[in-house]
A and B are shown apart, each in its own frame.
Chain A
Amino acid sequence: MFEELSSKLDLVLKKLRGEGKLTEENITGSLREIRRVLLNADVNYKVTGEFIESVRERALGREVLQSITPGQLIVKIIHDELIGLLGGVSAEVGYADPPPTVILVAGLQGSGKTTFCAKYARWMKQQGRHPLLIAADVQRPAAIDQLEKLGKEIEIPVYLERGAGAVSITSKGIEHARKNARDIAIVDTAGRLHVDQEMMDEVAAIRDAAKPHEILFVVDAMTGQDAVNTARAFNDLLNFDGAVLTKMDGDARGGAALSLRATVGKPIKFIGIGEKLDALERFHPDRMASRILGMGDVVTLVEKVQEQFDEKKAVKLEEKLRKSRLTLEDFLEQLQQIRSMGPLDQVMGMLPGMPKLPQGAAVDEKALVRIEAIIRSMTPKERNHPQIINGSRRRRIAAGSGTTVQDVNRLMKQFDQMQKMMKTLTRKGPKGRRFRGLGLPS
């Protein structure tokens, strides 16, 4: 999708190449495109309007660097603005003294509260905490059973009481946590519509009974324009501390994140990225910004490469390339640098000339892991002098890395091809272009 944005921007700005500054006239067209992109990403239209205005102000008069086009500069400004808007606050929970730290989870129906509660409890447990889940959703049929089962799966106790009211369950649950030395109490509440006064009164009563240290509002990443209304209503009532964006493993661009941040000013703390109970991640404003704009962009990639790519190593690598002495050690280093930039399909999405991956054709991260394992199973001598790797060494390497000899052969072949390619590349350029370290094995 960024391809679309970037090519449209390039079209708008084609005439402007060589102009030194961003002016009112030359940015209007591109801002219109950006507006479209944001609206398609479900950012609320009012938020979009305000955002575009602030970008316009910031962009006017900016010098265009020689290395990038005005369109890219605007994208970069927007990207930076987005990150600024989305980020800034730490996701850490302040633990209560005396325990338990009470965490209240609220949101609309079907936003993923119960699943999040279980994921979060598991997350806390991994940090050495002793969470207790409290089943205070007495509305949805079998919601209590669901939490009970999830608790069993992650081996975390669940406080439940059938037939009781949500407020009483909450109070007793917290008391239960206190008595049983559980230092975290996570309260799962029923989903409710923000216009349902009765249910909103209930959650307020639960809040008053629980006196939570942290209130989290759960939002579906697929939410459209209405995210603004619901976030505001819940925030007016609960003054929540942060939000959780769920179902981020789909292809929704998640503009709701920006709407929410702009409307109530609360940070997004976590994202849910799958149905499995370990599919919870901290929120990364930079990744979210790229996603809203359509999975990545050239400017960030350049920045990321610059950040991640150790200059000294780069110089060394360049030298080696010139001498055509690329070793498997270098290859491994390169691989790690690429992987440290983020999930591979996102990094791929940022590569110029690399269109968005077709649906379902996810980049095989496992293949990279395999390659890494193979190289790590080699001796330093083998890594630096790949030509000495004979049949018997291949068998040993395969056994050591848990792969097959065929896998090792394939890697050696790819490496060989890469070396050849590098030779021709370095021969072509008179001075040798700066090697950016993006030569992925195909």
Chain B
Amino acid sequence: MGLSDLLGFSRLKTGLTRTRDNLTTQISRMVKGKTTLDDALLEEIEEMLIGADAGIDTSVAIAGEMKRLAREKRYVNDEELNALLREAVLSHFKQQDYCGFDEVVSSISKPVVVVVVGVNGVGKTTSIGKLANRYRQAGKKVLIAAADTFRAAANEQLEVWAARAGAGLLTQKPGADPAAVAFDSYTSARSSGVDLLIIDTAGRLHTRVNLMEELRKISRVLKKVDPSAPHEVLLVLDASTGQNGLNQAKQFKAAVDVSGIILTKLDGTAKGGIILAITSELGLPVRFIGVGEGIDDLEPFSAEAYVESLFGSERAVE
């Protein structure tokens, strides 16, 4: 674990302070004087998970897992219950402590092409700014392509972020074909020795057939110039999203073969529990989490830290 990981861990912890505080006190209250895991307690745990947007099916499954684990090792106090909860969630959560994105970036011959997709308002542009900054800090040459040619002032917003991160920016007129922007940016990235090309796309609801088709076209066009591109398609997901998040992930994956997730806005009270359903059902890893509006507020995801922060036993310091 490097310094940034430690940093990320503590940031996530601050972000989830309220959550954990609630949960730990809840757990302590619930288990007071109990020595077995009864149905009422399981039901409360289920509700807790539902309250974190894990969804009813996932929550029931985790509660079931707890029941199974409890049969093997009877718990006696709330500390052990916490451990049990963590274990049950982690066993359901198909992702281990794994980021993987750094390896992607360093393993492929440049330019590495990353397409960033998602519904409207989840924080795609902000995440791209942070992502660009992260790899600029690591000494990579980064180019951002503004393929969001629909939203008013999308270019201007990206300009600000690109300048902050010290990354190059390629824009076209509003209304231009996003696939053409992607194509041009690739050509430009290759000729100028860019290490990492990040393509920003317009926010779109996953139910809009024609807009999803537009994404497919971006991917097709990229494949023409480099059959292995895009090397990474990141879906940005707002932590406050409810059960619809699973549909989003499914539809985007079907359209452009999403390879990972950026979970944003974890600095609020939302817990982003829907990623439990997404990782277990679709096997999509969470690559990064967004924990604030600053340019450094992007951290590699760690399942351990995430679950730990949700159910950690030590008291949070406000």
Contacts and interface: CB of A to CB of B under 8 A. Distances in A.
Contact of A45 (B50, B153, B206, B269): B50
Nearest to A41: B243
Contacts of A249: 205, 207-208
Nearest to B123: A110
A58 B311 CA distance: 38
A150 B242 contact: no
B206 A250 contact: yes
B210 to A, nearest CB: 9
A255 interface: yes
Interface in A190-207: 193-195
B173 to A, nearest CB: 13
B269 A250 contact: no
Given A41-B243, A229-B269, A249-B207, A150 B152 contact: yes
A287 interface: no
B195 interface: no
Contact of B241 (A195, A222, A251, A253): A222
A166 to B, nearest CB: 15
A229 B270 CA distance: 9
A149 interface: yes
A40 B123 contact: no
Contacts of A230: 240, 268-269
A36 interface: yes
Interface in B232-257: 238, 240-245, 247-248, 251
B122 interface: yes
Contacts of A145: 152-153, 156-157
Interface in A107-131: 108-112
B179 interface: no
Contacts of A222: 119, 238, 241-242, 244-245, 248
Given A108-B240, A359-B207, A226 B119 contact: no
Contact of A194 (B122, B242, B268, B274): B268
Nearest to B247: A251
B166 interface: no
Contacts of B67: none
Contacts of A146: 151-154, 156-157
B121 A111 contact: yes
A227 B268 CA distance: 11
Which of the listed residues B157, B265, B267, B268 has the most CB atoms from chain A within 10 Å of its own CB? Answer: B268
Interface string A1-21: 000000000000000000000
A39 interface: yes
A224 B122 contact: no
Contacts of B267: 193, 195
Interface in A138-152: 139-143, 145-146, 148-150
Nearest to A193: B268
Interface stretch (B28-36, B51-59, B109-117, B279-287): B51-59
A42 B273 CA distance: 12
Contacts of B157: 140-143, 145-146
Interface string B76-107: 00000000000000000000000000000000
Contact of B270 (A139, A149, A226, A251): A226
B207 A223 contact: no
Nearest to A252: B244
A275 interface: yes
A247 interface: yes
A225 B53 contact: yes
Given A110-B122, A223-B240, A256-B242, A153 B269 contact: no
B220 interface: no
Interface string A72-88: 00000000000000000
B75 interface: no
Given A224-B270, A226-B270, A360 B120 contact: no
A183 interface: no
A40 B274 CA distance: 11
B160 interface: yes
Interface string B140-161: 0000000000111111110111
A220 interface: yes
B265 A225 contact: no
Contacts of B50: 39, 45, 225
Nearest to A150: B152
A176 to B, nearest CB: 21
A360 B242 contact: no
A41 B267 CA distance: 24
A194 B269 CA distance: 8
Interface string A203-247: 000000000000000001011111101100000000000000001
A142 B268 contact: no
Contacts of B273: 224
Contacts of A360: 207, 209
Interface in B204-222: 205-209
B240 A226 contact: yes
Interface string B43-69: 000010011110110000000000000
Contacts of A36: 56
B152 A250 contact: no
A142 B53 contact: no
A109 B123 contact: yes
B242 A193 contact: no
20 contacts: A36-B56, A39-B56, A45-B47, A109-B293, A141-B156, A142-B153, A142-B154, A146-B156, A149-B152, A193-B265, A195-B18, A222-B242, A222-B245, A224-B241, A224-B243, A225-B52, A251-B247, A252-B242, A253-B243, A359-B209
Interface of A: 36, 39-42, 44-46, 108-112, 139-143, 145-146, 148-150, 153, 193-195, 220, 222-227, 229-230, 247, 249-253, 255-256, 275, 359-360
